[in-house]
Amino acid sequence: MKASLKIFSVLFLALGFLVISSGFQIIKTQLSVTVRDELGNTVEGASVQLYENEDDYAAEKNVAAQGVTDAKGVLKMKELKAISYYVIVRKDDKDNVGGGEQTGKLDANRINKVTIVIQ
């Protein structure tokens, strides 16, 4: 019994080493966007668009990623580049346009978080 436990342990460690050394990433670069209104309440159903550069943001073209917030006012975007993004959020007559909202540079292979206020 002890011998099979040792073999299992060695195989498990070897597999772990192979995963780490191959550069396999369990978590891709992600961004969790929480949208709030001017009173601090979360906003369900807000459309969120990310742009990679200021020109695309200003012209509202070449959207890098987009989606709609859930019942908790959160949108999770996966497999993003580890860069800063310009963000436009809209819901009915409220938005963040003109504020030049920009995320900080996303940390690679992490779940990054940002809160955007619309009014």
Residue 72 · residue 64 · CB < 8 Å: no
70: domain CATH number is 2.60.40.10
Q: What is the pLDDT of residue 22?
A: 44
Print pLDDT tens along the chain (119 aa). Answer: 566 656 655 555 555 554 444 455 578 999 999 999 999 999 999 999 999 999 999 999 999 999 999 999 999 999 999 999 999 999 999 999 877 689 999 999 999 999 999 99
Residues in the chain, overall count: 119
Element at 116 (helix H, strand E):
strand 111-117
Domain that holds residue 72: 26-117
Overall pTM surpassing 0.85 (yes/no): no
User: Could you tell me if residue 55 is inside a domain?
Assistant: yes
The number of distinct structural domains making up the chain is 1
In the numeric block, which tokens belong to residue 48? 């969120």
Q: What are phi and psi of 89, to 5 degrees?
A: -125, 135
Residue 27's pLDDT is 84
